Amino acid sequence: MTFMPIRDARDLATYLAADLEMHGLSRWRWHYRLTKRTVYFQRQLRRSEYWHNSGRSGLARSAVRAVMRMRVKRLGERLGFECPRNVFGPGLSIAHPGLLVVNDMTVVGSRCRIHQGVTLGGTGEGAPRIGDDVFIGPNALVIGPVSVGDRAYIYPGAVVTKDVADGEAVAGVPARVIGPAPSPWRPDPVPPARP
């Protein structure tokens, strides 16, 4: 898993495009603010990460950072998301509005699909590290210093407290390996953008 936070406008554009692609969308449209609230939340989260990481100082930039932080916080409260900045890699796909709690020390790789009711929680010992192309089903819990490998599949309702290897599927309470993971989840092909 490789994770690099958003540092410049090019990184921001890359992250935004990857997030849209994981939702099966080819480009941002204004009406998504009303019709695709999770996509809008992710867009605001990415913009907040950009402003937080840009490293430039000044009163105006500090004001923009504060406004972006409050915007993400308020929208997250409306949708039931508690997602800190600089946790998710490019290609994040939050499936539905509903409870989503993520510890600020968690690291999530690229192209991950996360459903409602998921908790990625830390303990005094550490927080989860989620690999690339991971599917986390509804109401799953990943707790503590757990490492979830690339292409893993966490079934709905699973409680993961131990490491999951690359390409494994886990289910149950506590989670146990039930076999190889299905192929990574991808949205329907993105239709070409109209000029």
170-184 residue pLDDT tens: 999 999 999 998 887
pLDDT value for 182:
86
Task: Look at residue 190 and tell me whether its pLDDT is greater than 60.
Answer: no
In angstroms, the CA 174 to CA 15 distance is 34
Per-residue pLDDT tens digits for 50-90: 988 887 778 888 888 889 999 999 999 999 999 999 999 99
Radius of gyration of the CA atoms of the chain, in A: 17
Q: If we measure between CA atoms, which residue out of 134, 156, 123 comes closest to residue 3?
A: 134
Please report which confidence band the pLDDT of residue 163 belongs to, taking 50, 70 and 90 as the band edges: very high
pLDDT value for 193:
58
Task: Look at residue 168 and tell me whether its pLDDT is greater than 70.
Answer: yes
pLDDT value for 1:
60
In angstroms, the CA 51 to CA 65 distance is 6
What residues does each domain of the chain span?
Answer: 9-81, 93-180
Q: Which residue has the tokens 């000044």?
A: 58
138-144: long-range contacts, CB 8 A cutoff, minimum separation 24? 139/115, 140/115, 142/118, 143/119
71: its two tokens: 């915007």
Q: 93-180 maps to which CATH number?
A: 2.160.10.10
**Cβ-contact 64, 51 below 8 angstroms:** yes
In angstroms, the CA 55 to CA 126 distance is 27
pLDDT value for 2:
62
In angstroms, the CA 169 to CA 153 distance is 5
Please enumerate in sequence order all residues whose Cβ is within 8 A of that of 134, keeping only pairs 6 or more positions apart, or say none: 108, 109, 112, 113, 148, 150, 151, 152, 153, 154
